[in-house]
Amino acid sequence: MSAVLFALPGNETMAAKLAAELGAEIGRLELRRFPDEELHLRFATDVAGRSAIFVCTLDRPDGKFLPLAFAAATARELGAAEVGLVAPYLAYMRQDRHFEAGDAETAPIFAACLSRTADWLVTVDPHLHRLKNLSLIYSIPTRAQHAAAPISRWIADNVPDAVLIGPDAESAQWVGAVAKTAGKPFVVLTKTRRGDRDVSVTVPEVERWRAATPVLVDDIISTGRTMAETLGHLAREKMKPAVCIGVHAVFAPGAYDDLRRYEPARIVTTDTIAHQTNAIDVAGLLAEGVRALWRAT
């Protein structure tokens, strides 16, 4: 069984990289909008008897679900042997329980929608906070690939004098692992509470790190506020300008410019969401995930 990859709009670059990694064909899926804004889709590549794999990153997800549902259902109707979904960024992972009475738990509802759409799902570092793994809400086989390895490699290659900075104790596990793989030192900021509103955040043994380049790593850069705060703490400690690394370049409107105002040495992201800061390639990671799940060989 051969595989054919289809890019939903905006995912053409990632689909091409992934096809190259997998040695798979890129198929043509034509989408256009009628004057009333309804969508018209047409498969210009045959999918009968093949693995049809859709590439669609899911930031700003609300407008992306129906096109994907139409494409997947049509591929099935046209005889695709299986329908796979590669969503480098997976949305609706935060509202995983009722925070207040009457609140929607969007995570399992969205997961149910996607589970009815595809036969399997590959993604990169979904925001698993309280949920331990995707199988708690997804009823299809899933693979959550970890960007820690390519991020570590990028740091080792590009920031020889790096010291990884964890903004708080919570970050120790994930940032610590990246530091270890990159072969770089790792420091967690210390919070000292002097009063109700007087909390000072300092770098332990700061003199040791003044000559190093601080590197911040987070899974999602959305408003960028957490990173901006940490940059503020480092500046007050007279550390060198930091390199900010995010797995997912979500960037809320204005967030990128806001973050640059703190004058980091560089802002770097993986290409799970297309953005001018993309510098770390995850196509290889995604290909690994696809190979674990697809039936094509």
Asked if 226 touches a second copy (CB under 8 A), the answer is: no
Report the residue from 10, 26, 74, 284 that binds a second copy according to the rule CB under 8 A: 74
Asked if 53 touches a second copy (CB under 8 A), the answer is: no
Cβ distance to a second copy smaller for residue 52 or 86 = 52
Stretch that binds a second copy, among 34-42, 154-162, 275-283, 289-297 (CB under 8 A): 34-42
Asked if 155 touches a second copy (CB under 8 A), the answer is: no
For β-strands 213-220 and 162-166, DSSP reports them as parallel
Asked if 129 touches a second copy (CB under 8 A), the answer is: no
The footprint of a second copy on residues 79-98 (CB under 8 A) is 91-92, 94-95
Stretch that binds a second copy, among 13-21, 105-113, 196-204, 285-293 (CB under 8 A): 105-113
Q: What is the DSSP letter of 97?
A: S
Beta strands across the sheet bearing 162-166: 186-188, 162-166, 213-220, 243-248, 266-270, 278-280
For residue 271, give the amino acid letter.
D
d(CA 150, CA 217): 12
Q: Provide the minimum distance between the beta carbon of 4 and a second copy in the complex, in angstroms, as a whole number.
A: 12
Report the residue from 111, 121, 227, 255 that binds a second copy according to the rule CB under 8 A: 255
CA angle in degrees (0–180, nearest 5) for 76-118-72 = 40
Is there a contact between 210 and 166 (Cβ–Cβ < 8 Å)?
A: no
Q: Which residues pair with 87 in a beta bridge?
A: 123
Closest CA to 126 of 109, 147, 99: 147
Is there a contact between 110 and 92 (Cβ–Cβ < 8 Å)?
A: yes
Report the residue from 1, 20, 109, 199 that binds a second copy according to the rule CB under 8 A: 109
Asked if 104 touches a second copy (CB under 8 A), the answer is: yes
Report the residue from 39, 169, 206, 292 that binds a second copy according to the rule CB under 8 A: 39
d(CA 118, CA 125): 19
Asked if 41 touches a second copy (CB under 8 A), the answer is: yes
Give the tokens for residue 100. 């207040």
- Cα dihedral across residues 69, 72, 75, 80: positive or negative: negative
Asked if 67 touches a second copy (CB under 8 A), the answer is: yes
Cβ distance to a second copy smaller for residue 48 or 211 = 48
Q: Which residues pair with 162 in a beta bridge?
A: 213
Asked if 126 touches a second copy (CB under 8 A), the answer is: no
Binding footprint of a second copy on the chain (CB under 8 A): 34-44, 59-63, 65-67, 69-71, 73-74, 77-78, 91-92, 94-95, 100, 102-106, 109-110, 112-113, 116, 220, 222-223, 250, 252, 255
